[in-house]
């Protein structure tokens, strides 16, 4: 398909539309009605239109026009099997794009649309497979940004739109950065100011037998749980073609290293000693805002997750402009609410988010007597044979001495955990494989989620340990009938 820009008036690149060349760049932070109308006309001609949403800017095309959709892939340099999200003006259009829409999808749509949530549903047969990367499922979303809404409502159909960046790069959250990324191949770039969320939408897959979280984002897992009655699992999200599957997705040009706050100083010193120019990205705290670490360029981000997320991609773009050899990023708090930030930082590092990082052994309740340990030990030996460097963490009553040392090098599970990718188990025990992206998350909700996932798969009751950090989770689990009385410390 054409790599060349869609036809447009001379000088339009970088201007809000091709209809008002005399006006130059839009003076306000919102495209005018006339500019939106011109963008609708461009979509109808099969051209590309970049537009703001509350998450990030999107690169849109008429989702019903395979040739227009092909232009999106060409402009981004995106592999053709990588599906696009279809943006709609309202949930009332859902049945034009998806079939077998489950009741839970309607409830999620009711609660979170318009807003930063994408639902994966079964594709309507008339949806071009070019949009869905050949898959039988489709991602749909109703954005709440007023310019996106105006565009979609006036257009009337679905607009297939990935983020408006070259494939694998950081998504743009200002019009200016769309121009820098794609100004040479997109004729119409609507103005919408700074994106309010700043990170891509939360993606929940409802096409299978239970909800799966494919990408954390603007809607938190706790909010989803209120509608779903359980936190969506991440089990099985290592399948191909899920978001950020490829290493080095959502990545700036500058290599990124994420390090714990207490290791920041040493990490920067090490990079400097090796002769590298270093940019440091810190979480703002008392009085440390602009301290230069060993003469490194230091930038900060707010210590609150929504504000951090809103500004993150802008900071990463700034870091690229500084032209440093490496960016050392202080790991933000490992707390609930930071999932999307941890996810994107993990990907910015180029770590495959689905790489195996740890194996968690979940034991039985003390009052259930000794587990059938033979099966567990055998499984653990097999895991360790395939993934030598992977630590095994224990969670539960039998985090004790009963296991051979080569099997259990780490003996307490009070660590960062999140729902794992693979589950296996026997009577009274379960093994959970944790992915790299999960290992970044020291959040309590991870434990709740894990427990629920195990519960759902019929692995039975089990206890979490009773220390302070877990007490609240344990109470939450008790309310849901998953665990009994916490163990004595």
Q: Which residues contribute to the site for ligand TXA (CB under 6 A)?
A: 53, 55-56, 58, 82-85, 116, 118, 120, 132, 135, 137-139, 141, 161-163, 200-201, 203, 214, 241-243
In angstroms, give the least distance from the CB of 302 to ligand TXA.
21
What's the length of the chain? 489
141 interface partner picked from Mg ion, ligand TXA, none, CB below 5 to 8 A per type = ligand TXA
CB atoms within 10 A of CB 111: 14
Residue 118 found at the interface with Mg ion (CB under 5 A): no
Between CA 450 and CA 442 the distance in angstroms is 13
H or E segment and range at residue 182? helix 175-182
Task: State yes or no: residue 55 binds Mg ion (CB under 5 A).
Answer: no
Identity of the residue, 58 or 187, whose beta carbon is nearer to ligand TXA in the bound complex:
58
Alpha-helical segments (H) within 254-322: 264-273, 305-322
Rounded least distance, CB 197 to ligand TXA, Å: 8
Q: How far apart are CA 272 and CA 290, in angstroms?
A: 18
Q: Does residue 201 interact with Mg ion by CB under 5 A? A: no
Q: How far is the CB of 471 from ligand TXA (least distance, A)?
A: 36
Q: Per CB under 5 A, does 163 bind Mg ion?
A: yes
> Counting Cβ atoms within 10 Å, is residue 340 exposed (0-12), middle (13-18) or buried (19+)?
buried
The residue range among 28-36, 155-163, 336-344, 371-379 that interacts with Mg ion, by the rule CB under 5 A, is 155-163
Smallest distance from the beta carbon of 17 to ligand TXA, in angstroms? 19
Smallest distance from the beta carbon of 56 to ligand TXA, in angstroms? 5
DSSP code string of 102-124 = -HHHHHHHHHH-SSSEEEEEEEP
Please say which residue, 142 or 362, places its beta carbon nearer to ligand TXA: 142
Q: Which is nearer to ligand TXA, 73 or 383 (CB)?
A: 73
Q: Which stretch in 163-171, 189-197, 385-393, 401-409 sits in contact with Mg ion by CB under 5 A? A: 163-171
Q: Tell me the three state secondary structure of residue 436.
A: helix
Nearer to Mg ion, 167 or 368 (CB): 167
- Provide the minimum distance between the beta carbon of 390 and ligand TXA in the complex, in angstroms, as a whole number: 26
Find which of ligand TXA, Mg ion, none residue 219 binds, CB within 5 to 8 Å per kind.
Answer: none
Nearby residues of 205 by Cβ (< 8 Å), 6 or more positions away: 120, 137, 211, 212, 213, 214, 237
Structural contact between residues 338 and 221, judged by C-beta atoms closer than 8 angstroms = no
3-state secondary structure of 56: coil
Q: If contact means CB under 5 to 8 A according to the sort of partner, which of Mg ion, ligand TXA, none does residue 131 touch?
A: none
CA dihedral sign of residues 71, 52, 346, 268: positive
Task: Please report how close the Cβ of residue 466 comes to ligand TXA at its closest, in angstroms.
Answer: 39
Q: Within 10 A of 335 (CB to CB), how many other CB atoms are there? A: 14
Q: Which is nearer to ligand TXA, 17 or 242 (CB)?
A: 242
* Tokens coding 312: 């993150």
Q: Smallest gap, in angstroms, from Cβ of residue 306 to Mg ion? A: 20
Residues at the contact surface with Mg ion, assessed by CB under 5 A: 163
């Amino acid at each position: 398909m054409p790599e060349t820009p869609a036809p447009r008036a001379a000088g339009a690149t970088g201007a809000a539309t091709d209809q008002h060349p005399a006006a130059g760049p839009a003076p306000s932070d919102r495209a005018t009605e006339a500019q939106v109308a011109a963008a609708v006309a461009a979509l109808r001609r099969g051209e590309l239109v970049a537009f703001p949403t509350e998450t990030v800017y999107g690169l849109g095309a008429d989702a019903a026009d395979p040739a227009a959709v092909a232009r999106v892939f060409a402009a981004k340099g995106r592999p053709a099997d990588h599906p696009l999200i279809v943006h709609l003006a309202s949930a009332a259009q859902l049945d034009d794009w998806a079939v077998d829409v489950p009741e839970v999808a309607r409830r999620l749509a009711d609660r979170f649309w318009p807003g930063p949530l994408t639902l994966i549903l079964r594709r309507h047969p008339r949806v071009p497979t070019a949009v869905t990367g050949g898959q039988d499922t489709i991602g749909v979303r109703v954005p709440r940004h007023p310019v996106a809404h105006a565009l979609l409502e006036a257009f009337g159909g679905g607009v297939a739109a990935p983020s408006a960046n070259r494939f694998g790069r950081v998504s743009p959250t200002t019009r200016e950065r769309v121009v820098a990324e794609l100004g040479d191949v997109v004729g119409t770039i609507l103005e919408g100011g700074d994106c309010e969320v700043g990170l891509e939408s939360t993606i929940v897959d409802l096409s299978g037998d239970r909800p799966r979280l494919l990408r954390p984002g603007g809607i938190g897992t706790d909010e989803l749980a209120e509608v779903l009655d359980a936190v969506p699992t991440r089990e099985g999200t290592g399948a191909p073609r899920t978001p950020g599957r490829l290493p080095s997705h959502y990545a700036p040009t500058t290599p990124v290293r994420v390090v714990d706050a207490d290791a920041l100083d040493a990490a920067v010193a090490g990079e400097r000693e090796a002769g590298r120019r270093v940019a440091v990205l810190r979480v703002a705290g008392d009085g440390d805002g602009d301290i230069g670490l060993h003469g490194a360029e230091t930038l900060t981000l707010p210590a609150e997750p929504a504000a951090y997320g809103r500004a993150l991609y802008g900071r990463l773009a700034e870091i690229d402009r500084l032209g440093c050899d490496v960016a050392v990023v202080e790991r933000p708090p490992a707390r609930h609410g930071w999932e999307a930030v941890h996810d994107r930082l993990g990907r910015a590092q180029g770590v495959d988010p689905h790489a195996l990082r740890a194996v968690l052994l979940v034991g039985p309740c003390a009052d259930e007597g000794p587990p059938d340990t033979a099966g567990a030990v055998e499984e653990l030996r097999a895991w360790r044979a395939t993934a030598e460097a992977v630590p095994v963490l224990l969670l539960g009553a039998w985090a004790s001495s009963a296991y051979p040392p080569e099997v259990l090098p780490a003996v307490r599970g009070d660590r960062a955990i999140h729902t794992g990718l693979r589950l296996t188990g026997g009577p009274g025990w379960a093994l959970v494989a944790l992915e790299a992206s999960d290992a970044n998350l020291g959040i309590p909700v991870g434990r709740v989620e894990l427990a629920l996932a195990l519960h759902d798969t019929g692995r039975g009751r089990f206890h979490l340990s009773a220390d302070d950090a877990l007490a609240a989770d344990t109470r939450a689990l008790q309310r849901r009938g998953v665990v009994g009385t916490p163990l004595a410390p």
